[in-house]
Structure 1
Amino acid sequence: MKHKYVQIICVFSALILSVTSCNLPQQGGSVITPSAGETEPTAEPDGQPEPLPASPKVDRIKIRTVDGNAEFYDSGTDQKFIPRGVNYVDFYKNERGTYEDRVMATNVYDPERVREAFRHMHENGYNTVRIFFDTCGTGPYCIANPNGNGLNSGYLDNMADLMQIAGEEGIYIVFTANAIPEGGGYWQIFDQEFNSTGHEGFIDGRNADWIHSAGVKTKAAMWRDLMSGLMERNAVFEVVLGWQLTNEYWLWKQVPPLSLDSGMVAISNGQSYDMSDPDQKRQMVTDGTLHFIDTIVPIIKEYDPEALTTMGFFVPQFPNPTGVGGDWYVDTAPLMDTAQLDFWDFHAYFDTDFLDLEKNAENFGMVDYDEKPIIMGETAAGHAFVPSAQTTATMAIDWYAKSCEVGFDGWLYWGYYPWPADMVGKPWTLLEADEFLFDTLSPNNWEDPCSSVIELETKNISQNKLVRFSRELPESPARFAVDGGELEWTAGNFPPQWIEIDLGEPSTVGQVGFAVGQWPPGYTHHQVWARLSDGRFVLLSDFNGYTTVEMSLRHKLPVPVEDVVAVRFLQLESPSWAGYKEVEVISAPTPDETACFAKAIGSPKLMSYPSEDANVAGSLNANDEVYLDGIFTSDDGTEWAQVGGDAWVRAEALSKSDSCATSLTVLNEAPVRFVDVTLEVEVPASTEGDVFIGGFIPGTEYPSWIPWAFLLTKKSADVWSLTLDVPVGTTIEYVYTRGSFENIERPINCGETDPRMLVVGDAPVTQNDIVAKWRDKDCGG
């Protein structure tokens, strides 16, 4: 889970005062309120827990060396074992609006949901899930004992039950820790040790939770409680592929002792290090990490002697510079030959990592490393950077295959269930888009990424193709729009601008889309044109409306278009210089019928809705050829043709091709109508900088709860305004910010900020709001 790419377990919402980092103690917590059918907190029993039924027969996964290379193998069949699976996270929203991964929480644990998922995976060849056992760390339903010290008995019951289900369904588990639970008395252990032993060079739990004796002692207590509790329950330890000491191990670069440039610092191993010496400082981190590992691994193996252990890491920032991790420090290379872990878990995402796999491997220190297996325990792409599951699959296949060449031995994709609509930082998960990624990456369809090749009939055929363009900046060339990376094409001027992708051969196209690349946000108009093998240009898609950061748009063609040799993405209007993060052209099987085309008669208007009183989105030129999605008859009897998804034109203004008689869909229901919603706010006279809203707008592709997503326009000294197009009938939630949740609005009493709510009717509306105070300026931060 990466600092910069918010597909992390420590999810923030508009209600959080500040973004709390993973692996850190959280100050205060959110409790789910029981509803009908939910249980109250589980009290600790007086006696021993009842053991589970007879354990299923599960063969251990072990490690051996074959021809100098370490590999996993099934001890029952003696066959090589390749971990293929997913991070199994399941988010539930608490009463404060914060999402948490609560797979095993005592009020929402659903064994049948777990069993259904594990069975579905196993039937399709998947063999491994990675599960966070302590992200539900606060409140009466989570891992910490709600009534005293130690762990929650009911939670451990659920954990043992989940292990039983995994064994019965043929799924192995990587159980990973993430943070010390807030309850259960563990932070009291930390505080007592931290204060009694001295903490020169440390200021609080940051960094001390890993390399000070207080952190090591606290984590050792938690791990002992966990392992002993599971043993008491006769848990099926054989299903655990690996016990992961932490999800992603890192330290704060800008916090003592790492931020110090003088003085001696003693750490958990009893040794002292000179902070004026960079080599000693680096050695301090290495030695502290090894001491932590050397303390926890024996505890795990005391209760599970055959256990395999591991730790997770995102890529270090050297020797090849990368922005992954931000101000977090990671250094894996010195650990590779000395740590008593059994295998490694290195995380590498293929949408936002600037580094290629070879440079990732160099930073991890895994070049020519064969002593222990290495899995890629997290990998994925996000909605903010990649337009669709199909493009994600195209990128994933290439990423998996190339990662074999640098030494990866297994892959666990990030996300099984689709994430909630109002959650920030959504990745493309396995079950989205009719399980497209699930089927594509299934071992039943792709047996071994290292030895077999999979050819997709539906994939992004624009990637790394020849690009023509109207303009480009040298530092942001047009090829960035088709390279599968985070960098974007920028034209260096305002619209109209375009890029055109040469597909190399006549192709059948079933979908087009793009990830938005613009700042500032605002109204934009995009068109996508196909050039056919006979030289004709056809308008495939028309996108018009408000767009902003971390937003992707796509249009699936009801009938795929054949004989396309090039696709042009044209920006007609934007408040920023033209550009795209990424574009996509998705191939499709040859259709049974021919797509419906039509030519414009005269210069008809393109409307945003099939009505004469709708907003005008643009116009066509005489003889422009367009792709038609469908036909709709309005209440007054007017026929409207749907052009490219978002636009409508009177059918009488078009001359349709013969194929329309059979392939044009008759639309019986009116499309969703959007109306203009204007938010006008009066802010304190002391307001500095720009004003934004972050929020959740259902029924749109707008990003959820990003505090800088929607920029308001200053109308006067204290009044700001924003107009969005919003679906009729939706309820929007929003808060005002000055670019971050640290600078969120506050009520007059400086209490917590409840989201504003607005129900959108069937007519344009202006909502007048007042911001009483700002958190940072008026309420003490």
Structure 2
Amino acid sequence: MERRLPPSGRLRRGAALLVAAALFGGCGLPAPPPASGPATATAPADGTSPGASPVVTGGTPPTHRIGIRKARGTAEFFDRASGARFVVRGANDHHLAVGPDGLVADRTFAPGSYDGAAAEADLRAMRELGYTAVRTALDICQDDCIGDPAGGLRSAYLANVADFLRRAEAVGLPVLLETNDLPKLGGYVPRVEATCCGTFDGYMNSQYFSPVGLAVYREYWTDVIHGLRDAGAPLGAILAYGLRGEVWYFADKPPFSLTSGVVTTANGRTYDMANRNDRSRMVTDGIRFWLAEMRKAILAVDPDALVTAGVFAPNTPNRWRPANDTRTVPVAGVFDGSDIDFLDIHPYPGYVPLAALMQNFGVTGKEKFPVVMGEYGAFKFAFDSPAAGASGLMSWQVASCRYGVDGWFHWHYQGTDDQEVWTGTEGDGVINAVLSPRERPDPCRTKSFPFLEEDLARGATVRASRSTSDGRPRLAADGIADTIWQSGAGPTQWIEFDLPARSTLRSVRLTVAQYPNGSTRHVVLVGPSAESLRAVHTFSGTTRDGNVLTWTPSSPLTGVRVVRILTTRSSSFVAWREIALIGPSGD
């Protein structure tokens, strides 16, 4: 999940971690393509389904249980032993903690912190829920991490990774094992930094495009794969190697900040920086060459392994990160022409609709390789409880099937130390349950659960006393805090939600849009119709932009058809970022 710079992958997580990966993630966009892949398939709890015969029928048996084949013209995962289609459904497994430096780090494999028995218990719990795979990272950490201060990699750390792989193999969960960045220790980083700053930036751009940077990252992968083998790791337990958790580069740093001269990159080709086409080719050629070189390093030791690479969503054509975020992400077409076996995308709900993110990714459902959603999670700013997050993630997962997505890992399985995202074990494990194959064998269909919550405002007809041309009432109920209903005038103003049917209302959550700060008064009115409303609660006090006002009645309100938020006092024009009307799912 992306934490290196403020925009997950994660816009809100940027300042928290200097080393890590996974990020973030409408109306009026083109309709998505017809469903493909798992949209028409119901996967049994073991993750397999009937399919074509295995492509490997003789010779040396493959080391890895899961492979990729073409079936009816579509690339899909399959079990090499049984020949059955394999549906990737799992969770990210990390043990996050805030260190003395204030940075969030993954303690999963750190010597002194790793607990093999606890790891196995988690893996067995995942398997009991029907999950078929697990995703984890080697290096979401800094000082107490994989790098050895004496140089190279720590053998004790690799031994813990090997032990985890043995336990995962015993449980029957293939592991997607990925790297996020060069380790801080071990001697890798200084050599890349030495390439700064004339032609390359000494960091991310150097790693991909400079000969030294690429060679260092290839050395890191070579050390990882040899180290795991020497530690006795069962490499066959690995579903795939994630060459990088998230691939991106800086558009405003060299070589891309150069507007003249020529640059020779790691692939030996020379590009004219005054030529727009050459600059574009540099990206495509360079990323593909980097992926190919990392893949070679792995296959030299593990010849039949699968490899992948992750991405958070590009920021065009639908902007969902700040305009001054210069991290640039290659689109799916760049990877489609590369040597990776499948693409790992990371769209998170809470910013813009999935259709907009998929358009940014360039994912259409017609890719030559499978596409896996390696990260998606419930941000606390978007969902006010684990139950609300579970409902939102279920809908997000189902919607992804329309784009041929072939696998899912939610962020993440357990814990309470993720300050921004509801984890799978919070709220009595509702997220882990709702996304599990045991409870929902078909990932492409929703299911009613009595404990889930639903934002009733999303399906309502929204009206207001008045609005500006760029601040229509619907924007207060689109699930996106950065879009705002604006009345364009001061009090008294109101916004009203006409629900499709009489419903049960459990709580009301209002996200303030206000400048300047000041005293406000907002009245919540409900009723069976707009003509018979009654006041049920008043928010009164000093508020500021971004505040969240929540009211939960002592008992749910039944028979509610219309909800109106009436503002009678405010220091600014009346507006709302988001209004959520929480009721039981499927009410």
- Relative to the length of structure 1, the TM-score reads 0.64
Structure 1 residue 383: deviation in Å?
Answer: 2.1
Contact 2:10 2:348 in 1 (8 A): no
Q: Quick one: structure 1 residues 522 and 443, their matched pair in 2 at CA, closer, same or farther if it must change by over 3 Å? A: farther
Structure 2 equivalent of residue 106 of structure 1: 111
Q: How well do the aligned residues superpose, as a CA RMSD in angstroms?
A: 3.1
Quick one: which of 227, 247, 256 aligns to 1:258? 256
For the pair 1:90 / 2:95, whether they are aligned, the reply is: yes
Q: Distance in 1 between matches of 2:438 and 2:547?
A: 33
Structure 1 residue 177: deviation in Å?
Answer: 1.0
Alignment of 1:341-380 (within 5 A): 341-353=340-352, 356-357=354-355, 359-380=356-377
Structure 2 equivalent of residue 42 of structure 1: none
Report the residue type matching 2:176 in the other structure: V
Q: Classify the secondary structure of the residue corresponding to 2:422.
A: coil
Alignment of 1:41-60 (within 5 A): 60=65
Alignment of 1:470-489 (within 5 A): 470-486=465-481, 487-489=483-485
Per-residue Cα deviation, 1:283-341 (whole angstroms, up to 9, x for no partner) = 01111111111111011122222211000112234455554782111222442442110
Alignment of 1:410-559 (within 5 A): 410-417=407-414, 419-420=416-417, 423=419, 426-450=420-444, 452-457=445-450, 458-486=453-481, 487-521=483-517, 524-532=520-528, 537-544=533-540, 547-548=543-544, 551-559=547-555
Report the residue type matching 2:256 in the other structure: L
Alignment of 1:732-771 (within 5 A): none
Contact 1:223 1:299 in 2 (8 A): yes
Per-residue Cα deviation, 1:173-211 (whole angstroms, up to 9, x for no partner) = 22121111111111244357x48xxx8522422411211
Q: Classify the secondary structure of the residue corresponding to 1:155.
A: helix
Q: Quick one: structure 1 residues 174 and 264, their matched pair in 2 at CA, closer, same or farther if it must change by over 3 Å? A: same
Structure 1 residue 133: deviation in Å?
Answer: 1.1
Structure 1 residue 491: deviation in Å?
Answer: 2.5
Structure 2 equivalent of residue 12 of structure 1: 15
Contact 1:333 1:363 in 2 (8 A): no
Q: Distance in 2 between matches of 1:89 and 1:68?
A: 36
Quick one: which of 390, 398, 401 aligns to 2:395? 398
Q: Quick one: structure 1 residues 543 and 179, their matched pair in 2 at CA, closer, same or farther if it must change by over 3 Å? A: farther
Report the residue type matching 1:400 in the other structure: Q
Q: Quick one: structure 1 residues 498 and 392, their matched pair in 2 at CA, closer, same or farther if it must change by over 3 Å? A: farther
Structure 1 equivalent of residue 44 of structure 2: none
Q: Distance in 2 between matches of 1:191 and 1:564?
A: 61
Structure 1 equivalent of residue 278 of structure 2: 280
Q: Quick one: structure 1 residues 439 and 229, their matched pair in 2 at CA, closer, same or farther if it must change by over 3 Å? A: same
Per-residue Cα deviation, 1:654-713 (whole angstroms, up to 9, x for no partner) = xxxxxxxxxxxxxxxxxxxxxxxxxxxxxxxxxxxxxxxxxxxxxxxxxxxxxxxxxxxx
Report the residue type matching 1:213 in the other structure: P
Structure with more of its chain in helix, by fraction: 2
Q: Distance in 2 between matches of 1:585 and 1:467?
A: 12
Q: Distance in 2 between matches of 1:322 and 1:165?
A: 39
Structure 1 residue 276: deviation in Å?
Answer: 0.7
Structure 1 residue 96: deviation in Å?
Answer: 2.3
Q: Distance in 2 between matches of 1:441 and 1:345?
A: 18
Flag structure 2 segments of 5+ consecutive residues without an equivalent. Answer: 23-62
Structure 1 residue 172: deviation in Å?
Answer: 2.7
Structure 1 residue 128: deviation in Å?
Answer: 2.7
Contact 1:391 1:584 in 2 (8 A): no
Contact 2:8 2:346 in 1 (8 A): no
Quick one: which of 243, 246, 257 aligns to 1:245? 243
Report the residue type matching 1:445 in the other structure: E
Structure 2 equivalent of residue 66 of structure 1: 71
Q: Quick one: structure 1 residues 337 and 168, their matched pair in 2 at CA, closer, same or farther if it must change by over 3 Å? A: same
Q: Distance in 2 between matches of 1:324 and 1:417?
A: 30
Q: Distance in 2 between matches of 1:507 and 1:320?
A: 34
Q: Quick one: structure 1 residues 21 and 106, their matched pair in 2 at CA, closer, same or farther if it must change by over 3 Å? A: closer
Structure 2 equivalent of residue 384 of structure 1: 381
Q: Quick one: structure 1 residues 203 and 392, their matched pair in 2 at CA, closer, same or farther if it must change by over 3 Å? A: closer
Structure 1 equivalent of residue 216 of structure 2: 218
Q: Quick one: structure 1 residues 324 and 191, their matched pair in 2 at CA, closer, same or farther if it must change by over 3 Å? A: closer
Quick one: which of 583, 600, 604 aligns to 2:579? 583
Per-residue Cα deviation, 1:369-424 (whole angstroms, up to 9, x for no partner) = 24210011122342223434444334333322222112211122223335438x4x
User: How many residues are aligned here?
Assistant: 541
Task: Compare relative contact order (CA 8 Å, sep 6+) and give the higher one, 1 or 2.
Answer: 2
Structure 1 residue 548: deviation in Å?
Answer: 4.8
- Greater shift in the superposed pair: 362-371 or 174-183: 362-371
Q: Classify the secondary structure of the residue corresponding to 1:409.
A: strand
Q: Quick one: structure 1 residues 70 and 459, their matched pair in 2 at CA, closer, same or farther if it must change by over 3 Å? A: same
Q: Quick one: structure 1 residues 489 and 128, their matched pair in 2 at CA, closer, same or farther if it must change by over 3 Å? A: farther
Q: Distance in 1 between matches of 2:343 and 2:177?
A: 14
Q: Classify the secondary structure of the residue corresponding to 2:86.
A: coil
Structure 1 residue 495: deviation in Å?
Answer: 4.1
Q: Radius of gyration: which is bigger? A: 1
Flag structure 1 segments of 5+ consecutive residues without an equivalent. Answer: 14-18, 25-57, 592-781
- Greater shift in the superposed pair: 244-253 or 558-567: 558-567
Q: Quick one: structure 1 residues 556 and 75, their matched pair in 2 at CA, closer, same or farther if it must change by over 3 Å? A: farther
Structure 1 equivalent of residue 329 of structure 2: 330
Q: Classify the secondary structure of the residue corresponding to 1:463.
A: helix
Per-residue Cα deviation, 1:423-453 (whole angstroms, up to 9, x for no partner) = 4xx1233233333322222222222233x34
Per-residue Cα deviation, 1:72-118 (whole angstroms, up to 9, x for no partner) = 12223333222222222322122222222222112322334323332
Structure 2 equivalent of residue 49 of structure 1: none
Report the residue type matching 1:287 in the other structure: D
Structure 1 residue 557: deviation in Å?
Answer: 4.0
Quick one: which of 149, 158, 181 aligns to 1:179? 181
Q: Quick one: structure 1 residues 488 and 439, their matched pair in 2 at CA, closer, same or farther if it must change by over 3 Å? A: farther
